[in-house]
């Protein structure tokens, strides 16, 4: 081999080595970032909130990757991306700002307010995700798709097999009668109780019998009023008096609530109810001496203590307790959601999830670890077919009613 051949061969080897380094980077996912740290969901929320505040208009939403335990921050430029990476989060440069996505939801409300539709902001796709149920056909479908097509790629539309409805039930509706597992049942039902591992960092670690006294109700327990069955959300206090939160569409149905179908064991009176637009109600216990524990019923003889309130974030692992289907789990999939149940019943500012629910579960508690997150509103499908479920943020209900929860709830 002459000297020139050796030089050429060496150059070729160097080129191949360079390609081996460059090609993987060229094909890398925009969600990947060298040196990204792992976070618990709680610490991810704390960091994301701080970063969003620091970045201002350059922040475009964020989400949590439960499988990798990484925080992904959407940003609008590389300078902001560098700030995100310096804090150990994954930076994803996106096209649409949060202001543009919120404006997109406003446009949809103005041009496509169609019963059987819902939309929410999805930071994973950096778009507004529009969902149409099985009733949206013909001219309704044409109107919806035309509106989405006119949003310059800021929204997508998809179908769901179910029909959007509120999840209040009747007195006669028994747990599990709508196809779900029911309390104590198998798949996705109450049998998933405290021992399954639950949401991120031990949400399923219930405190057996934590503070519960005779006659006290927990989140997820059945309440009856006005011919309807709903579920209690979270126990709270208002000016020191015991009360609980449930769904607003339940509060609109009945003035008084009982723990039995016949109404013989009255427990509380509706003090405030907001539906539509929002979906929460405050019910005060009739006995001011009621010892109402800050707990959620895990439907297996144990309870989960609730000590705080958490804002929902896409990717957050959550659980829901309700009087029809017991305890089910899933993740948050969208924020700032709007759902149109029909007959003028349109609710805004909801949390969208893939957690299943059924009639009778309305008002029930959605929680993550020891944190209260949402109150069950409605959705599509059931706990056999699956579907989407929407929740009223607890934080909004507390702010509106002046109630306190968890560690602030004696």
Residue with tokens 């029911």: 182
Is 33 catalytic? The answer is no
- List beta partners, residue 64: 71
Determine how β-strand 228-231 pairs with β-strand 222-225.
Answer: antiparallel
Is 249 catalytic? The answer is yes
Please, what sign has the CA dihedral across residues 167, 173, 178, 184? positive
Q: Determine contact, residues 117/163, Cβ cutoff 8 Å.
A: no
Tell me the CB-side half-sphere exposure of residue 255, using CA atoms within 13 A.
0
C-alpha 12, offset from chain centre: 54
Is 133 catalytic? The answer is no
Using CA atoms, how far apart are residues 341 and 326, in angstroms rounded to an integer? 24
- List beta partners, residue 157: 130
User: What does DSSP assign to residue 194?
Assistant: G
Using CA atoms, how far apart are residues 163 and 212, in angstroms rounded to an integer? 37
What residues contact residue 317 under an 8 Å CB cut-off, 6+ apart? 41, 66, 198, 199, 200, 203, 329, 330, 331, 368
Q: For the chain, what's the residue count?
A: 410
Using CA atoms, how far apart are residues 386 and 134, in angstroms rounded to an integer? 14
Q: Catalytic: which of 133, 188, 279, 361?
A: 279
155 burial via Cβ count (<10 Å: 0-12, 13-18, 19+): buried
Q: Catalytic: which of 41, 97, 323, 362?
A: 362
Q: Catalytic: which of 188, 221, 249, 345?
A: 249
Determine how β-strand 155-159 pairs with β-strand 127-132.
Answer: parallel
Tell me the CB-side half-sphere exposure of residue 101, using CA atoms within 13 A.
27
149 burial via Cβ count (<10 Å: 0-12, 13-18, 19+): exposed
Catalytic residue positions? 249, 279, 362
């Amino acid at each position: 081999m002459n000297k020139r051949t050796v030089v050429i061969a060496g150059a070729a080897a160097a080129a191949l080595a360079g390609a081996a380094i460059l090609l993987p980077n060229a094909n890398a996912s925009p969600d990947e970032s060298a040196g990204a740290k792992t976070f618990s969901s709680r610490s991810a929320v704390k960091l994301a909130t701080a970063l969003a505040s620091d970045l201002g208009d350059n922040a475009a939403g964020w989400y949590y990757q439960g499988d990798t335990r990484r925080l992904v921050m959407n940003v609008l430029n590389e300078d902001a991306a560098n700030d995100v990476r310096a804090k150990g989060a994954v930076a994803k440069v996106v096209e649409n700002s949060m202001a543009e996505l919120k404006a997109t939801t406003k446009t949809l409300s103005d041009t496509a307010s169609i019963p059987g539709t819902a939309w929410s902001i999805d930071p994973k796709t950096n778009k507004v995700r529009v969902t149409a149920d099985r009733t949206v056909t013909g001219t309704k479908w044409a109107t919806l798709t035309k509106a989405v097509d006119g949003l310059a790629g800021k929204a997508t539309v998809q179908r769901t097999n179910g029909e959007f409805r509120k999840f209040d039930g009747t007195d006669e509706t028994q747990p599990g009668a709508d196809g779900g597992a029911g309390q104590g049942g198998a798949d996705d039902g109450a049998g998933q109780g405290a021992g399954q591992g639950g949401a991120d960092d031990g949400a399923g670690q219930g405190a057996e019998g934590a503070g519960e006294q005779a006659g006290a109700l927990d989140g997820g327990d059945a309440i009856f009023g006005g011919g309807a069955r709903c579920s209690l959300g979270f126990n709270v206090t208002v000016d020191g008096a015991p009360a609980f939160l449930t769904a607003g569409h339940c509060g609109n149905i009945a003035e008084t609530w009982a723990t039995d179908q016949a109404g013989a064991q009255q427990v509380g009176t509706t003090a405030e109810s907001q539906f539509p637009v929002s979906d929460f109600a405050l019910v005060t216990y009739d006995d001011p001496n009621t010892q109402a524990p800050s707990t959620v019923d895990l439907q297996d003889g144990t309870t989960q203590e609730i000590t705080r309130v958490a804002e929902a974030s896409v990717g957050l692992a959550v659980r829901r307790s309700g009087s029809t289907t017991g305890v089910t789990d899933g993740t948050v999939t969208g924020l700032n959601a709007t759902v149109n149940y029909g007959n003028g019943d349109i609710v805004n500012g909801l949390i969208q999830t893939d957690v299943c629910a059924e009639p009778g579960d309305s008002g029930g508690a959605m929680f993550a670890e020891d944190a209260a997150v949402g109150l069950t509103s409605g959705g599509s499908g059931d706990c056999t077919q699956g579907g989407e479920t929407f929740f009223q943020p607890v934080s909004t209900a507390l702010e509106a009613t002046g109630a306190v929860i968890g560690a602030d709830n004696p």
